[in-house]
Structure 1
Amino acid sequence: MDSILNKLTEIESAAVSIVQHAEAEKSILDEKYDEKRRQFDLELEAETKKQIQAIQDDLQKKTSQILSSQSDESLAQINALQKEYEENHTLYAQKILRKITEV
């Protein structure tokens, strides 16, 4: 009977040792996975920031191009109106004077 008890004690002792070892291994694996997850999060955040910056840079570039284009078009229209005025302002003044005198 004592030998059976001794064997059971040895088995229980071995089982406890195996459980402790498994818990230690689990703890080590948890730390490794936590570090990998943390590293992944950092890399993802950096990549996301990089993509956002690229989108913002592209948007800024396109906005500048649009504004520049609109400015050029506005300047061209102003120059065209100024040229027309310079060429025809005497004619416009005469038309206004005729309308005033007709009244």
Structure 2
Amino acid sequence: MDSVIDKLTEIEQTASAIVAHAEEEKAEIDREYDERRKKFDQKLEEETMVRIERIREGLESDKKHLLTGQEESSRELIASLQEEYTKNHTVYAENILKRITEV
């Protein structure tokens, strides 16, 4: 009878050791998983920041190009208005004088 009890005790101790070992392995796997997840999150964040910076740079370049085009267009319009005024300022002045004197 004592041998059966000893055998059962031995089996229970072995089972406890197996469970303890499994818990240790599970804890190690959890640590590895957390480390991998952190590395993945960090890599993903870095890649996202790089993409965002590229998008910002592209938008900034587009904005500068658009502003340059608008500035050139505005300069051309001002130049044509000044040329128009230079050519026709006498006619404009005569028309204004006519309107004033008609009243």
TM-score by length of 1: 0.93
Aligned to 2:6: 6
Offset, 1:23:
1.0
Identity score, percent: 49
Which 10-residue stretch deviates more, 91-100 or 46-55? 91-100
Alignment of 1:1-103 (within 5 A): 1-103=1-103
Structure 2 runs not aligned, ≥5 long? none
Offset, 1:102:
2.4
Supply the distance in 1 between the matched residues of 2:10 and 2:101 (Cα, whole angstroms): 127
Offset, 1:9:
0.8
Offset, 1:48:
1.0
Offset, 1:99:
2.2
Q: Say how many residue pairs are matched.
A: 103
Supply the distance in 2 between the matched residues of 1:38 and 1:99 (Cα, whole angstroms): 81
Structure 1 runs not aligned, ≥5 long? none
Which SS does the other structure have where 2:14 is aligned?
Answer: helix
Supply the distance in 1 between the matched residues of 2:5 and 2:47 (Cα, whole angstroms): 62
